[in-house]
Amino acid sequence: METVVQKRRSMWRDPRKRSEALAAYTFIAPYLIITIVFAIGVLIFAMYLSFTDFNMFTWPPQWVGLKNYVDAIVKQDFRRSLVNVAWYVLTVVPAQTVLAILLAVLLNAPMRGRQFFRMLFYAPSVTSSVVISMIFWWLYLKSGFLNLFLTRTLELIGVSFKTVNWLNDPRGLLQLIAQVFGGDIPLKQWYFRGPSITWMAIMFQNIFTTAPTFMVMFLAALQDIPPSLYEAAAIDGANKRQQFWKITLPMLRPIILLVVVLGTIGTFQIFDQVKILTGGGPLKTTLAPVFLIYRDALGTTGPPRMGYAAAMAFLLAAIIFVFTFIQRRVIESGTEQY
């Protein structure tokens, strides 16, 4: 320890080394200043606001302690948004991860037009989320292309299809299953109804647009796997399915961890599709935490409540941290050998 301190002192005493160090700090100073002011500073200020009653028009904010956190936990809207986003995470993250792996394996195989298909599959990921949402809005209209396609297709096999109002149907998946067996789940027990039809429609859109991004990451990882592993496995008599389960998937575990973590963070923070397509409806079945934070912070449906919104934001951040930590502990264990 003393040796390190002595080296640092000698560095600052040497004019040449001191000038080099000052030049280095000067070059990184803009980034450090921006980070301190607009990241760390804003985070600390938001933490302070979460303990206050602040509506952006009166100053100074009134200190209320933990009231905002208690209100967020007690009030139904935030809890309902967490249940909605939990269904979203549990559905979208596994689906987009599996789809991304399958697409990557397919497009990594030797085939004609491989580059064209890679570009074709990746196109939705580089398109603006607003544009994609508007396209799906046209598809999901009651008189839109999806209902028309299903009607015409099922007519070919003699089945009559009743058009679905995809963006305004609050019926939940578990409720629909219960109705098949003659039961029903009342509206008061919304937490047992499962994701609504509208929420599942938004899930499909997210899977469609996000899986290609993760596909590119898996493609890069697949190309780093030594071909000699597959050659040795083939000599030992392993077929393609066995090679996939015994070689490909284990070698992809570090990337699977990254994709699952990024997917979880992204799905917890869903906002664009809810804001553009549903506004949290129908019957709050697509209400998401980030949209709720946006709504209460800016006061789109009432007076602005910046402190309450900040409290919800920090609660959401804590939940995301816990989920990410658990995923890392579960998936990362054993990846060191790869």
Whether 338 has a pLDDT exceeding 60, the answer reads: no
Q: Do the Cβ atoms of 151 and 163 come closer than 8 Å?
A: yes
In a shared domain, residues 121 and 260: yes
Q: Which helix (H) or strand (E) holds 19?
A: helix 15-35
Instruction: Give the helix ranges, DSSP H, for 190-305.
Output: 197-222, 227-235, 240-243, 249-251, 253-268, 272-273, 289-298
In a shared domain, residues 170 and 287: yes
Expressed as residue numbers, the domain containing 15 is: 2-49
Q: What is the pLDDT of residues 241-293, one digit of tens each?
A: 888 898 888 899 889 988 999 999 999 999 999 999 998 888 899 999 999 99
Asked if residue 68 belongs to a domain, the reply is no
CA distance 274 to 269: 11
Q: Please give the pLDDT value at position 93.
A: 94
- Tokens 């490909």: give the residue: 248
In a shared domain, residues 162 and 18: no
Asked if residue 19 belongs to a domain, the reply is yes
Strand partners, 52: 63
Tokens coding 134: 């508007």
Q: What is the pLDDT of residues 74-102, one digit of tens each?
A: 988 999 999 999 999 999 999 999 999 99
- Tokens 């995923």: give the residue: 327
Q: Please give the pLDDT value at position 333.
A: 63
Cα end-to-end distance, the chain, whole Å: 35
Q: Please give the pLDDT value at position 10.
A: 60
In 3-state terms, what secondary structure has residue 53? strand
Q: What is the CATH number of the domain that holds 122?
A: 1.10.3720.10
Q: How many domains does the chain have?
A: 2
Higher-confidence residue of 125 and 284: namely 284
- What average pLDDT does the chain have? 86
- CB atoms under 10 Å from CB of 96, counted, come to 26
Residues 6+ apart with CB under 8 A from 64: 51, 52, 53, 307
In a shared domain, residues 138 and 221: yes
Phi/psi of residue 62, nearest 5 degrees: -90, 125
Q: What share of the chain is helix, strand, coil (3-state, %, to 5)?
A: 75, 0, 25
pLDDT band with cut points at 50, 70 and 90 for residue 207: very high
Asked if residue 220 belongs to a domain, the reply is yes
Asked if residue 69 belongs to a domain, the reply is no
Q: What is the average pLDDT across 319-328? A: 87
Asked if residue 57 belongs to a domain, the reply is no
Q: Which helix (H) or strand (E) holds 63?
A: strand 62-63
Q: Do the Cβ atoms of 164 and 142 come closer than 8 Å?
A: yes
Give which of 266, 62, 104, 76 is closest to 187, Cα–Cα: 76
Q: Do the Cβ atoms of 176 and 265 come closer than 8 Å?
A: no
In a shared domain, residues 45 and 175: no
